[in-house]
């Protein structure tokens, strides 16, 4: 459900977690390279409004606009990025003025963050291998060999006397984190069911491991068949999936398919701040809405009348979304335009030439893309028309052809030839 945010809409912030100064380091060093400074600033602003309390007083979004010096589109985008990465949950009650509740969650610990394949891959992509290594070293714990030491730590009962006491059933704050909602396209249960139990012990697979597997498939853009083969190749002698080995295999496969490049997070659909604000439902606006709310992958599925896309098409999407950083809705229009003018064929070099032109033209919205495509189509049509006028027309082009109706014998012969090809 989409809600149009207005300056008059009110909000409160609810702290669902314990927050401390160490969290500021985690948010700045680990999360900011992925979601950007604007989203982190939004998080810190909500945190500051709490001022040590659990629930803030009601304020309007106009107040946020004034404090952050941002328009509503930027605030909404920052909010969505925090939601997507698990730092925020948003609830709304609709009315003449909408009321929002922002639930604030703690960042993951460094260990949990760096074990998450989506977050790690995105962080490494944005920082580069050298800075990524420096950051992981910063959060690493140096170990001391204790083999020659004796553990003399006291247990609780050695120090304290246990007496009868009562514990309240109240709900206490904890270091709560919000899991990233993975909306993948694989059917993990079906993949695992397809692996023989003699090879894999299904009972040993935990929910956390399943979540990890879904993350891998999402970030490395793997389909069911390929992911199944990679999993089988990562099962150890104990009939368990070696997650570290699997992760390396997924990364290696992705780099092989994408000329050594690492994946990064990208918007799955057209960003809210790049969508049309028109509400009328004429045919053109229906098309705009469709382009804006459909992922490029799903759009290609529809065009192919299939649930798969080729490796070449995957590379084209990767180039358009990750290399050129075109918005997904714009990519949909571009693909539709190329298929129309190029006899329903997606040729990588041809697509890249047109995409580079659109990038230089700074096309960011679906409306801009459609208008640009229409102008280019008219130019091509006018060019072909003028070219035909200047070309030498063949002698036969505009002459009538004398026809003679075939007799019955000739008709029988033609029918006999055609029958051989049925």
Determine, yes or no, domain membership for 411.
no
Determine, yes or no, domain membership for 256.
yes
Out of 93, 108, 123, pick the residue that ends a domain.
108
User: How far apart, in whole angstroms, are the C-alpha atoms of residue 236 and residue 204?
Assistant: 12
In 3-state terms, what secondary structure has residue 258?
A: coil
294 and 261 part of one domain:
no
Extended strands (E) in 312-377? none
195 and 248 part of one domain:
yes
245 and 284 part of one domain:
no
State residue 47's pLDDT score.
94
The number of distinct structural domains making up the chain is 3
Continuous segment of H or E residues that includes residue 100: strand 99-104
Pairing of strands 10-15, 99-104: parallel
Q: How far is Cα of residue 347 from the mean position of the Cα atoms in its chain?
A: 24
State residue 396's pLDDT score.
39
Q: What is the CA radius of gyration of the chain?
A: 30
How would DSSP label each residue in 16-82?
A: -S---HHHHHHIIIIIHHHH-HHHHHHHHHHHHHHTT-SBPPPEEHHHHHHHHT--HHHHHHHHHHH
240 and 279 part of one domain:
no
For 192-214, b where at least 16 C-beta lie within 10 A, e where not — what string?
beeeeeeebeeeeeeeeeeebbb
380 and 279 part of one domain:
yes
User: How far apart, in whole angstroms, are the C-alpha atoms of residue 157 and residue 241?
Assistant: 40
State residue 161's pLDDT score.
53
226 and 315 part of one domain:
no
User: How far apart, in whole angstroms, are the C-alpha atoms of residue 89 and residue 80?
Assistant: 9
281 and 259 part of one domain:
no
Taking phi first (over 0 means left), then psi (-120 to 50 degrees means alpha), and beta for anything else, what does residue 220 get? alpha
At 341, list the tokens: 């003018």
Determine, yes or no, domain membership for 403.
no
User: How far apart, in whole angstroms, are the C-alpha atoms of residue 337 and residue 356?
Assistant: 14
Torsion of CA 313, 317, 322, 323, to 10 degrees: 70
How would DSSP label each residue in 227-251?
A: HHHHHHTTB-TTS-B-HHHHHHHHH
In contact, 118 and 265? CB cutoff 8 Å: yes
User: How far apart, in whole angstroms, are the C-alpha atoms of residue 244 and residue 92?
Assistant: 40
70 and 20 part of one domain:
yes
Per-residue pLDDT of the chain (422 residues; tens, 9 = 90+): 566 889 999 999 999 888 888 899 899 999 999 999 999 999 999 999 998 888 999 999 999 999 999 999 999 999 999 998 999 999 999 988 899 999 999 999 888 898 888 888 888 888 888 898 898 888 877 777 777 888 777 765 667 654 444 445 555 555 556 665 555 567 888 888 888 888 888 888 888 888 888 877 877 778 888 888 899 989 998 889 998 888 888 888 877 776 666 665 444 555 555 555 554 556 777 788 888 888 887 788 888 887 677 778 877 887 787 677 788 889 899 999 999 888 888 888 899 999 999 989 888 888 888 988 888 888 877 766 665 555 554 443 444 444 455 566 665 665 655 555 44
Continuous segment of H or E residues that includes residue 14: strand 10-15
State residue 193's pLDDT score.
87
In contact, 54 and 170? CB cutoff 8 Å: no
Determine, yes or no, domain membership for 173.
no
Determine, yes or no, domain membership for 72.
yes
User: Exposed, middle or buried, 350 (CB in 10 Å: 0-12/13-18/19+)?
Assistant: middle
Query: If we measure between CA atoms, which residue out of 255, 250, 215 comes closest to residue 232?
Result: 250
State residue 34's pLDDT score.
92
**Domain range spanning residue 195?**
182-265
Q: What is the domain-level CATH number for residue 33?
A: 1.10.10
Number of H-type helices and E-type strands within the chain = 20, 4
Q: Rounded to the nearest 5°, which phi and psi values hold at 388?
A: -65, -35
Total residues found in the chain within this entry:
422
Determine, yes or no, domain membership for 341.
yes
Determine, yes or no, domain membership for 362.
yes
Q: How far is Cα of residue 172 from the mean position of the Cα atoms in its chain?
A: 34
280 and 254 part of one domain:
no
State residue 346's pLDDT score.
87
Torsion of CA 38, 41, 42, 47, to 10 degrees: 170
299 and 378 part of one domain:
yes
Out of 247, 265, 283, pick the residue that ends a domain.
265
User: How far apart, in whole angstroms, are the C-alpha atoms of residue 44 and residue 68?
Assistant: 11
237 and 330 part of one domain:
no
17 and 76 part of one domain:
yes
Out of 210, 241, 265, pick the residue that ends a domain.
265
Determine, yes or no, domain membership for 130.
no
In contact, 262 and 121? CB cutoff 8 Å: yes
User: How far apart, in whole angstroms, are the C-alpha atoms of residue 3 and residue 97?
Assistant: 11
């Amino acid at each position: 459900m989409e809600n149009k945010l207005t300056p008059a809409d009110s909000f409160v912030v609810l702290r669902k977690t314990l927050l401390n100064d160490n969290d500021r380091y985690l948010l700045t060093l680990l999360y900011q390279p992925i979601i950007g400074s604007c989203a982190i600033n939004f998080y810190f602003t909500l945190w500051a409004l709490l001022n040590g309390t659990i629930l803030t007083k009601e304020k309007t979004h106009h107040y946020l606009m004034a404090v952050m010096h941002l328009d509503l589109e930027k605030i909404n985008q920052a909010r969505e990025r925090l939601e997507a990465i698990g730092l925020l949950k948003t609830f709304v009650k609709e009315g003449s003025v909408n009321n929002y509740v922002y639930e604030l969650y703690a960042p993951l610990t460094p260990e949990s963050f760096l074990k998450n394949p989506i977050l790690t891959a995105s962080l490494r992509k944005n920082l580069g291998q050298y800075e990524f290594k420096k950051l992981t070293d910063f959060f690493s714990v140096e170990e001391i060999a204790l083999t020659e030491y004796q553990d003399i730590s006291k247990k609780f009962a050695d120090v304290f006397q246990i007496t009868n006491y009562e514990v309240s059933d109240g709900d206490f704050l904890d270091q709560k984190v919000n899991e990233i909602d993975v909306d993948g396209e694989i059917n993990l249960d079906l993949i695992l069911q397809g692996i023989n139990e003699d090879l894999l012990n299904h009972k040993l697979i935990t929910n956390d491991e399943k979540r990890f597997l879904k993350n891998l498939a999402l970030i490395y853009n793997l389909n069911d068949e390929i992911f199944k083969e990679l999993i089988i190749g990562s099962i150890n002698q104990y009939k368990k999936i070696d997650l570290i080995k699997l992760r390396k295999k997924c990364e290696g496969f992705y780099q092989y398919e994408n000329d050594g490049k690492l994946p990064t997070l990208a918007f799955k659909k057209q960003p809210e701040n790049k969508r049309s604000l028109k509400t009328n439902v004429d045919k053109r606006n229906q098309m705009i809405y469709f382009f804006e709310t459909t992922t490029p992958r799903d759009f290609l599925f529809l065009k192919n009348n299939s649930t798969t896309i080729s490796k070449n098409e995957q590379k084209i999407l990767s180039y358009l979304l990750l290399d050129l950083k075109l918005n997904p809705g714009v990519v949909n229009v571009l693909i539709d335009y190329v298929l129309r003018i190029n006899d329903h064929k997606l040729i990588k070099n041809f697509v890249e030439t047109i995409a580079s032109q659109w990038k230089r033209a700074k096309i960011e919205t679906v409306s801009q893309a459609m208008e640009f495509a229409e102008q280019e189509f008219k130019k091509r049509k006018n060019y072909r028309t003028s070219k035909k006028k200047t070309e030498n027309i063949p002698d036969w082009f505009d002459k009538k052809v004398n026809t003679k109706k075939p007799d019955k014998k000739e008709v029988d012969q033609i029918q006999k030839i055609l029958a051989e090809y049925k």
